[in-house]
Amino acid sequence: MSEERFEEYLEALYTLTEGGKPAKTTEIASFLGVAPASVTEMLQKLADMGYVNYQPYYGALLTKKGLDVALKVKRRHRLLERFLVDFLGMREGNAHKEACKLEHVVSDDMERRFCSLMGHPKKCPDGNPIARASCCIKKERFP
């Protein structure tokens, strides 16, 4: 399984389960634009690896391990959107598409540098919060 596909599933599960209820296979399939059978197969793999709790006909929820990865990907996505809009002048829709591609190749060091360069932004262009990380916490404590 590719790292990008793995992260896309965890990120989708994060988005679909924000309200606390499990994500159904059909919801995930629709969200990602894939066949329900592909989702079932991936959920079983993710469950075997400890990233999700999955029960057929009930749905899937992220474990702590899965949530940690999903939050990291979501943070990188939102930082990239902020960078693409504010520094490169892209429109929000285009920035979102580009951030979807780039979020999987950003290293921890690059993420910290983007965040620092942009002054530790708190929101992405569409107003969603950007999760705080150690680089932001240090900055906020010691201005």
pTM, two decimal places: 0.85
- Return the higher-pLDDT residue of 141 and 26: 26
% pLDDT > 90, the chain = 73
% pLDDT > 70, the chain = 93
| Domains of the chain, start order | 3-62 (1.10.10.10), 72-141 (1.10.60.10)
Q: What are phi and psi of 106, to 5 degrees?
A: -80, 125
pLDDT at 73 over 80: yes
Burial of 29 (0-12, 13-18, 19+ CB in 10 A): middle
- The pLDDT of residue 34 is 96
- The pLDDT of residue 32 is 95
- Among candidates 1, 2, 32, which has minimal Cα distance to 14? 32
pLDDT digit string (tens) for 101-130?
A: 999 999 999 999 989 899 999 999 989 898
pLDDT at 142 over 70: no
